[in-house]
Structure 1
Amino acid sequence: MDAQLLKLSATFPFATKIASLPKQPLNFPSISQTKIPPFPLFLNLETNNKSKIHTTATRRNDAAFNEAAYEAERLNLDAAARESMAQKSVSEAENPDDPKAWKWVIRKRVWDLMEARNIAQFPRPVHHRIPNFIGAHIAANKLSELDVFKEAECVKVNPDTPQKQVRFLTLNGGKKLLTPQPRLRTGFFSILEYSMLNPSTIKEACTSVGVAKYGRPIGLEEKIKVDLIVIGSVAVDPKTGARLGKGEGFAELEYGMLRYMGAIDDSTPVVTSVHDEQLTDDIPIEKLLVHDVPVDIICTPTRVIFTNTPIPKPQGIYWDKLSPEKLSQIRILRELKSKIERETGQKLPCGPSEKLPPTAQRRR
């Protein structure tokens, strides 16, 4: 697949609006002139519904669901994936010749600041993760007051701790919640609905174990429409909507797969919730990559910011940017790649090899 590259320019006009409780409709910029046609497929990929973790959608009602066994297996699979890349796992910040080294400088500054000022919450340390922050529930409540949230029927929310309240408010508001399995290593996406739950299980359903226990696993063949994307961030620029995650690239892959599924398009708003100290003004948009996902709205504990981002949104999965190391981590991507190659008779390109970043360490 030939990938058309987008060149981002620092000369884009910036416009920022800040309000406590925004009620005005959002007008997202049209970027039809920069669209990249996705690879012509679709997507009858059959996922492995006989996996040990997800057998059928009815499993959520199975009284025999063994939470301890599920969590142990999930952690074992995750640990195995980490071990397989351990020899290559190194912080890109230590390699000044790497074109993404500047991102690690910003991430480390934010992580260090949050720890030093004690605005981080469990799990700690916050390094190499989407940081949980003091006031995350307040930022989530502000997000729930947005018109785009109130009007959404299906909301995709990242699985990280600081967005747990967003997941709760989504379910409690009677909306469909689409949540990816952590790092996509043990599955793909699961859908949860309020009708699957009761008041005693709704909070549990917002956790990784609860998603597996109560959610309905879906594959890439699922016909869904996602009305709003909530994404975690390490740092974000309120003037441009430029965002940095924790460096593993899973949010970008999730976004790309949703584009391939036809579940989202350029008009689907992307929102992030962060602490005010995670706002930065030194993310150079001209250095962003074609698959980096910008945000339209930022919610902090003190304010709501409309970025009017000029940055084009990714149009799908950019196989020529996907390293062999990353591909080896994610089973569903390998299956999708094989599926496309079988159906088209053409071999998809592969990105250059990379040294994967270190994963977070958890204090016990």
Structure 2
Amino acid sequence: MSHSTLKSTLESTSEEKAGRWSGRNADKDRLRAEIWSGLEASGLSIGPVWSRISNWVGAEVAARNLSELDIWKRAKVVKCNPDPPQIAVRLRALYDGKLLYMPVPEFGSGELPWVLLDPAKLERDGVQFEMAATSQGAVSVGQKLGFEDIQPLDMAVCGCIAVTRAGGRTGKGGGFADLELGLFRDLGKITADTPIVTTVHSSMVVEDTRLPIMAHDSLLNWIVTEKEAIETAPHGRQPGGVVWDMVQPDQLEDIWFLKDLKAKILASKAGSAPDPKA
């Protein structure tokens, strides 16, 4: 097999593994494939790797490092993504007595997209924190809520595949985190002072130039790995809310509540009744 044929075969295999969100941004696709391949080859991955927020050896150490930061100690209300590498973050939030919001994976289908885990209530109900900290456990025992029902957040934890010290980030490619954070800003649930945080393996921290930052991308304030806690130096400002022109058509169709919530947000900004066709 020639070098060009081998390269083409490897690229095709990577594209297939990358899943249904590949093709939206070629630079990010290549970077995600590189990170996923590295986790797989190094033996640092835990469970499936591709087309997801992959789990990795050292996630519990990174969660402990996060819990030692002042921003964590001050936070009383925390949002955390539902993915496996952040189980330890969710568990620490519960043991530290924080109210914890977690999105239903990919915002669910026809059900309220958020769950609230109140550690005091879980204790009264005899629910083990270790079970509630898993995504399936959280969905089964948490209080179901919509975006508008969430309290203002003291910290937002996102799942990432690659990050930069300039605050750049990319997840699995579905756009859920940026959409979620944009909606939070539009609804007044986070402000410019709310820290946006992730826990990642140190191999996922890449050079600033490797990760293009788009107009709708939310920037990280802190990156915590199994080795260190990094306060980022973001280039530019956070987006003011959802950049609706950059929301993918499939997102508007597949995320069951998004059209109605968009209409409410745009109507609120315009000071009028919502237009269901917006």
Q: What TM-score does the superposition give when structure 2 sets the normalisation length?
A: 0.84
RMSD: 2.1
Which of 151, 169, 176 in structure 2 is aligned with 1:243? 169
Match of 2:81 in 1: 158
CA distance in 2, matches of 1:140, 1:120: 17
Give how far 1:128 is off: 0.9
Aligned partner of residue 203 in structure 1, secondary structure: helix
Which of 239, 255, 262 in structure 1 is aligned with 2:188? 262
Matched, 1:201 2:131: no
Q: Which has the higher contact order (CA 8 A, sep 6+)?
A: 1
Which of 37, 40, 44 in structure 2 is aligned with 1:112? 37
Identity of aligned residues (%): 36
Which of 184, 207, 214 in structure 2 is aligned with 1:281? 207
CA distance in 1, matches of 2:69, 2:53: 22
Match of 1:133 in 2: 56
More off after superposition, 220-229 vs 241-250: 220-229
Q: What TM-score does the superposition give when structure 1 sets the normalisation length?
A: 0.65
Match of 2:273 in 1: 343
Give how far 1:185 is off: 2.6
Higher normalized helix content (fraction of residues): 2
Give unmatched runs, 5+ long, in structure 2: 1-18
Give unmatched runs, 5+ long, in structure 1: 1-87, 93-97, 349-364
Does the 8 Å contact 2:182/2:242 carry over to 1?
Answer: yes
CA distance in 1, matches of 2:101, 2:128: 17
Give how far 1:284 is off: 5.2
The CA deviation string for residues 18-66 of structure 1, in whole angstroms up to 9 with x for no partner, is xxxxxxxxxxxxxxxxxxxxxxxxxxxxxxxxxxxxxxxxxxxxxxxxx
Q: CA 1:90–1:191 in 2, change beyond 3 Å: closer, same or farther?
A: closer
1:1-364 aligned at under 5 Å gives the runs 89=20, 91-92=22-23, 100-122=25-47, 124=48, 126-186=49-109, 187-198=112-123, 200-222=127-149, 224-238=151-165, 240-283=166-209, 287-339=212-264, 340=266, 343-345=273-275, 348=278
Does the 8 Å contact 2:21/2:172 carry over to 1?
Answer: no
Does the 8 Å contact 1:275/1:301 carry over to 2?
Answer: yes
Aligned partner of residue 89 in structure 2, secondary structure: helix
Give how far 1:344 is off: 4.5
The aligned length equals 251
CA distance in 2, matches of 1:276, 1:346: 45
Give how far 1:90 is off: 6.5
